[in-house]
Structure 1
Amino acid sequence: MKQVSKSLLPLLIIGSLFFFMGCGNDTATTDNSNAEPSVEEATDSTVEVQSITTEKLQEKIDDDQWIIVDTRINDAYNGWALEGVTRGGHIKGAVDFSANWIRFEVENQDQLLQEALKEKGITPDKNVVLYDANGEDAALVADYLMQQGIENLYTYDVKEWAMNEELPMESYPNHHLLVPASWVHELIENDNNGNPYKIFEVSWGEISEDYLNGHIPGAVHINTDDVEEGPIWNRLSDEALETFAENYGITIDTTVVLYGSDSTAAFRVATILKYMGAEDVRVLNGGFAAWENSGYDIELEDREKEPVESFGATVPVNKDYIIDLPEAKTILADQEGSKLVDIRSWDEYIGTTSGYSYIEGKGRPAGAVWGYDLDVYRNMDNTMRNPSEIKSMWYEWGITPEQNLSFFCGTGWRAAEVLIYAEVMGLENISLFDGGWNEWQDDSNNPIELGEPN
């Protein structure tokens, strides 16, 4: 029977436990009673390590005794040209271990960081090159690694590598869909160069406590009830979605930035807007915490919606971006070229629980493959996980990028986030099965499987 790969169990643990808590005085404390040094201890000192030249790095980049580590924020790794770097993305072959994972405390942080080091192959027997663009990130990670007994360390300024067009760098084709806080700040500062834009905090309910406690300046709250309805919680009718857009002042050519304290709601609305035909939809990578921890201003003013007369197109423009039950069954019938990918927990997938208080049925659509729960798609700061690691998870279940992939979960929120990540990676034949498990189990004629697959 198909089991969870032992090599991925630590990742599942990491993904399930990581919870971003910020860096203020109210953050969790670390138990210092064990023999391992704490993150706090690791960051109290400054470690000086030798730098490496571009020429030397070129010689060692394919040497399996050397590992290249990008210590910058996730956005830079994905493809954004930040902090004076002339080319966005990362040195080809580099793994990511962001300094932010050390800066911002989380529960069980020491243990989880050490698990991450093992998964990425950052071990004491390797020569480790840590690179950044600001002279701070690599030093912080070097300090932490020295405390973990990893001493063969070198630092490098990636700006030098980026200036030489002949040296290989990798960025993800649609990294622009996930934006750093700095990009949102610049959007506000330059008023999007006079072009229309909107910023929305997205969560369920008419009143959002998160929004009222402070939000990005100019942001308006979106209630997810304005784009979906029960009991299945599918998207609203196309006509109703046009009305939603008009009420919130969204046109087909409006730049739309979505975020939340929990990003799943933002991704849910993002997929619906893209289905509708909105041409420039972005999600703040890492959610509101990314904005707060960048030190940007927040406001308390309750901003009102500013309606427009017309969305500017007949919905849906991108009809195949979201599919329904008949299309999901067609995908299941094509087991070689297509996959219906379940983005729920293992217990939901095998039918131990439905995962929802209002969903009675347990199990999975017969023939659906497990794509792992959402938690393992996120880094500890709730940014997008390294796509190479995502693909490795998929390969365990026969999921490959060239297939026709449709992602689903219970009601479309978790799967929406993975759909956007897949698009960031450059996958093309992808969609969201909107009704997901809730719609499938609602009809007793739909075949269901329970237990671990053979």
Structure 2
Amino acid sequence: MKKIISLLLMLIFTVSLFSACSKKEQNLTTSTGFKIVSTDELKDKIGNSDYVIVDTRINDAYNGWKLDGVKRGGHIQGATDFAANWLDVDLKDKDAKLLEIAKNKGIVPEKNIVLYDANGKDAERVADFLKKNGYEKLFVYDVKGWAEDETLPMESYKNYTMLVPATWVKDLIDEKNPETFNGGPVKIFEVSWGEDSPDYNAGHIKGAVHINTDEVEEGPMWNKLSDDRLEKFALNNGITADTTVVLYGTDNMAAYRVAVILKYMGVKDVRVLNGGFNAWKREGYEIETAKNAKSPVAEFGVKVPVNKGYIVDLPEAKAILNDKEGSCLVDIRSWVEYIGETSGYDYIKGKGRPAGAVWGHAGSDPNNLQDFRNVDGTMRNANEILAFWKEWGITPDKNLSFFCGTGWRAAEVLYYADVMGLQKISLYDGGWNEWSNTKGLPIEVGEPKR
């Protein structure tokens, strides 16, 4: 009898202990008091309109890269993004600007906000910022648990590998064979205008060579050079069709311009450093000021261009405008350029847009692309881009050709569309400069009738 009573008491103690532990597991909090959500709890919240799931890691992890020991790359299906490093960006009226960004993503105080990371730091940083600004219903989660369960849905951009994190470039330099690199020759280039570039001279990634944008285009139209001259440009820079080419700049717009031209030519592996040189500096990696010389090669390896339809000229642009149901000529200029209040350039006199072109957004002036970039210069959330395009009838099923004044802004947006996985896409290289300087072409000004 004593044995039975003893066993019963032990059983009661074990059950009580288990219940207490389970209760403790369900009520874990961080050192600063934010409730830690379990994977099972989070599964139940997916699709719940009262909850917003937020990825607080760097943009590259959201896009698809496996960083910080996460088994699968990409983000939890349905999650939006608010990277912790945005809190470090130097912005005018920073808190107000960041809260506006949060609001536009649906991260608002009345919702339950689940913030996740993989390093145990980012989610709490964003939670602290939101709490300071009046948010109360804040939770944190470690995404590694989600990524380890193959049955739980995660999303990545189809061609996320075209945009690389600084850590990937560093591993490439250190010959560590980073994710998706298949070996072979590698070239890293800083891209900006001018033969003697102040940006390059001030400091660059170790081993990087300077590309002057005059090497791929010339005035007065600033169209790309002829195919044979582009091949000479590639050979002079040591680029073949099989070279892994990594491009970046202090402002990445010039890098995207060259990236699109290289893809048109037929270079198979073109990468751009997401966020540009600032992403490299943020990681604290080595910077050098010594100039690195170009190392020419004898043969490109394929006949240029391999991807002829990636960049189109005036006849194709006209055909796209005539196909009103299946195609869009997409204007990547500021609103004031689109409606003809300004040409946007001191060397372009004409104002307006090609008749029938639709507005694809840009930034507030010709020198930025804030509608397509996060505050740290990385690519904006694809869902947000697709949403404002849809308002103008710009949808992935159509043949989309992007243009701007002379091809720089539109090249960056074309590259983002490619990262997203859109297929029928191209750059109208001549853009507004060519269109407005060609007699007899139809032009519109003012707000369009929609």
Query: Could you tell me which of 368, 371, 381 is aligned with 1:376?
Result: 371
Larger C-alpha radius of gyration, 1 or 2? 2
SS at match of 1:375: coil
Deviation of 1:194 after TM superposition, in Å, equals 5.8
Given that 1:264 and 1:413 are in contact with CA atoms closer than 8 Å, whether structure 2 keeps it comes out as: yes
Structure 2: which amino acid aligns with 1:360?
K
5+ residue gaps in structure 2? 1-30, 363-368
Match of 1:429 in 2: 424
Query: Could you tell me which of 293, 316, 320 is aligned with 2:309?
Result: 320
For 1:338 and 1:292, the matched residues in 2 are separated by 41
Match of 1:184 in 2: 169
Deviation of 1:444 after TM superposition, in Å, equals 2.1
For 1:304 and 1:66, the matched residues in 2 are separated by 54
Structure 2: which amino acid aligns with 1:86?
K
For 2:187 and 2:33, the matched residues in 1 are separated by 45
Given that 2:89 and 2:375 are in contact with CA atoms closer than 8 Å, whether structure 1 keeps it comes out as: no
Which has the larger displacement, 79-88 or 188-197?
Answer: 188-197
Match of 2:259 in 1: 270
Match of 1:446 in 2: 441
Match of 1:169 in 2: 154
SS at match of 2:210: strand
Match of 2:24 in 1: none
Deviations 1:217-259 (A, max 9, x none): 0000000000001100000000000000000000000000000
5+ residue gaps in structure 1? 1-45
For 1:364 and 1:445, the matched residues in 2 are separated by 13
Alignment RMSD, CA only?
1.2
Runs ≥4 residues deviating over 6 A: none
Q: Is 1:217 matched with 2:212?
A: no
Given that 1:47 and 1:142 are in contact with CA atoms closer than 8 Å, whether structure 2 keeps it comes out as: no
For 2:387 and 2:176, the matched residues in 1 are separated by 41
Match of 2:40 in 1: 55
Given that 1:48 and 1:139 are in contact with CA atoms closer than 8 Å, whether structure 2 keeps it comes out as: no
Which has the larger displacement, 364-373 or 115-124?
Answer: 115-124
Q: Is 1:93 matched with 2:78?
A: yes
For 2:109 and 2:448, the matched residues in 1 are separated by 39
Given that 2:163 and 2:272 are in contact with CA atoms closer than 8 Å, whether structure 1 keeps it comes out as: yes
Given that 2:37 and 2:140 are in contact with CA atoms closer than 8 Å, whether structure 1 keeps it comes out as: yes
Structure 2: which amino acid aligns with 1:370?
W
Match of 1:7 in 2: none
Structure 2: which amino acid aligns with 1:326?
P
Match of 1:146 in 2: 131
Aligned pair count reads 410
For 1:204 and 1:78, the matched residues in 2 are separated by 29
For 1:79 and 1:265, the matched residues in 2 are separated by 24
Structure 2: which amino acid aligns with 1:154?
F
Match of 1:128 in 2: 113
Match of 1:27 in 2: none
Given that 2:157 and 2:421 are in contact with CA atoms closer than 8 Å, whether structure 1 keeps it comes out as: yes
1:226 to 1:114, Cα distance in 2 relative to 1, 3 A: same
For 2:84 and 2:378, the matched residues in 1 are separated by 13
For 1:260 and 1:48, the matched residues in 2 are separated by 41
Deviation of 1:375 after TM superposition, in Å, equals 1.7
Structure 1: which amino acid aligns with 2:440?
N
Deviation of 1:108 after TM superposition, in Å, equals 2.1
For 1:191 and 1:133, the matched residues in 2 are separated by 22
Match of 2:90 in 1: 105
Query: Could you tell me which of 197, 208, 216 is aligned with 1:227?
Result: 216
1:1-20 aligned at under 5 Å gives the runs none
For 2:324 and 2:183, the matched residues in 1 are separated by 48
Structure 2: which amino acid aligns with 1:251?
T
Deviation of 1:196 after TM superposition, in Å, equals 0.3
TM-score scaled by length of structure 1:
0.89
Given that 1:406 and 1:431 are in contact with CA atoms closer than 8 Å, whether structure 2 keeps it comes out as: yes
Given that 2:80 and 2:105 are in contact with CA atoms closer than 8 Å, whether structure 1 keeps it comes out as: yes
Given that 1:343 and 1:415 are in contact with CA atoms closer than 8 Å, whether structure 2 keeps it comes out as: yes
Query: Could you tell me which of 384, 387, 390 is aligned with 2:385?
Result: 390
Sequence identity (%): 65
Structure 2: which amino acid aligns with 1:275?
Y
1:308 to 1:191, Cα distance in 2 relative to 1, 3 A: farther
Deviation of 1:315 after TM superposition, in Å, equals 0.6
1:284-363 aligned at under 5 Å gives the runs 284-363=273-352
Q: Which has the higher contact order (CA 8 A, sep 6+)?
A: 1
Deviation of 1:87 after TM superposition, in Å, equals 0.5
Deviation of 1:191 after TM superposition, in Å, equals 6.8
For 1:117 and 1:230, the matched residues in 2 are separated by 42
